[in-house]
Amino acid sequence: MTLSRREFIGGLLGTALGTVVGDSLYRSQKRPGKVLVIGVDGLRPDALQEAVTPNIDTLVADGAYSFKARTGAYTVSGPGWSNILTGVWENKHGVKDNSFKGANYAQHPTIFTRIEDSKSHLNTHVVTSLDWFTELILPQADVKIYHPFEEEGDKKVAETASQLLSQHSVDLMFTYFMGVDEAGHAYGFDPKIPEYISEIETIDRYVGMLMGAIKKRSAYNQERWLIILTSDHGGKGKSHDGVGEEAMEVPLIMHGPAVEKGEIVSVPRQVDIAPTVLTYFGIPIQPEWGLDGKVVGLK
C-alpha cells in the first residue's frame, strides 16, 4: 500500500491532544522566554502537507499544530496579518482590505505596541519582504528591516533574520515571506500545482536557516524559544479574496519546550496568536483590551 505524504505525516504524529490554558505558569517565570513568529503569506495547509518540508515537519512532529486554523471573514493580507498581530477581528482593528483605510491600531494595537507599553524592555525585531510591516503594522519595532521581494527579498529575509538570531539580543522577532503567495497568484493556490509546492519547499529551507541560527545562540538551552508558523490566508485558483473555504483555512504550528505536543483539537483562530504570545511573555491580558482570541497550544 502506498501512503500519501499527508497520510504518512498523520501516521507519524499519531493521536494528539489539544490544549487551551491559562497563563499562571508564564507569569511566574523569572524571565520570559523568546518568540519567533514566521509568517508565510498565502499558505494552504493541504499544500504544506503535500510538499517536502523536513524542517517544518520537525516543528510539527515535536510541537503543537493545527492544519485547520481559521482566518477572519476577509481573506486578504491586510486583515489577516492584522488579526494575527492584534488578537482582534476586523470589526475592531478596522482593516478590511489592503488599503488599510479605517485601521484602528490606536485602540487595538499589535503585540509589539502591547510589549512596548508593558515596559518589559523586550527587544523586538521585524524582518520582512513586504513594507507594510515596517511602515503600517509594526512601525514601533526596535529593529525594522525590509528587503523588497523583487530583489530576492525572501532569501535576504532569511539571511538577515538568521544573522540577527544567531548574534544579537532578540526577544521577539516577526519574519515574513511573500513567495508562496506570489506563486499562488501566478500559477494557482493548489497542492497539485508544482510551482506552488516548489515555493513552499523553498520557504522550508529558510525555516531551516532560522532554526539553525537559533540553535547557535550561546544561551539557547536556557532561552526557551517559542516558534510560531502561520499564514494570513490560503487560496483557490489564482485568488484568495472571497473564494471560500480554501482561503479560510491556514496552518498554525507551534514549537518549543512550553508547547503541549500534538494536534490542537479546539480549532484555533488567527486572533489566538496575539494573546498566546503576550501570555508567554508574562504580560497580563487586560479585559479592557477586548481581545477576541484565547491562549492556545501551551502547557
Residue 220 near residue 237, CB atoms below 8 Å: no
Per-residue pLDDT at 8: 36
DSSP string over 166-224? HHS--SEEEEEE-HHHHHHHHH-SSTT-HHHHHHHHHHHHHHHHHHHHHHTSTTHHHH-
Per-residue pLDDT at 296: 98
Per-residue pLDDT at 18: 28
Residue 123 near residue 172, CB atoms below 8 Å: yes
Would you give per-residue pLDDT tens digits along the chain (299 residues)? 333 444 434 443 332 322 233 344 444 454 569 999 999 999 999 999 999 999 999 999 999 999 999 999 999 999 999 999 999 999 999 999 999 999 999 999 999 999 999 999 999 999 999 999 999 999 999 999 999 999 999 999 999 999 999 999 999 999 999 999 999 999 999 999 999 999 999 999 999 999 999 999 999 999 999 999 999 999 999 999 988 999 999 999 999 999 999 999 999 999 999 999 999 999 999 999 999 999 999 99
Per-residue pLDDT at 20: 30
* 183, three cell numbers: 506563486
The residues spanned by each domain of the chain are: 22-289
Per-residue pLDDT at 266: 94
Q: Does domain 22-289 have CATH number 3.40.720.10?
A: yes
- Residue bearing cell 511602515: 135
Q: Report the distance separating Cα 69 and Cα 258, nearest Å.
A: 20
- Pairing type for strands 124-128 and 172-177 reads parallel
Per-residue pLDDT at 17: 28
Per-residue pLDDT at 34: 97
Q: What pairs with residue 228 in β-bridges?
A: 37, 254
CA proximity to 273, closest of 84, 115, 20, 34: 84
Per-residue pLDDT at 31: 58
What pTM was computed for the model? 0.90
Per-residue pLDDT at 36: 98
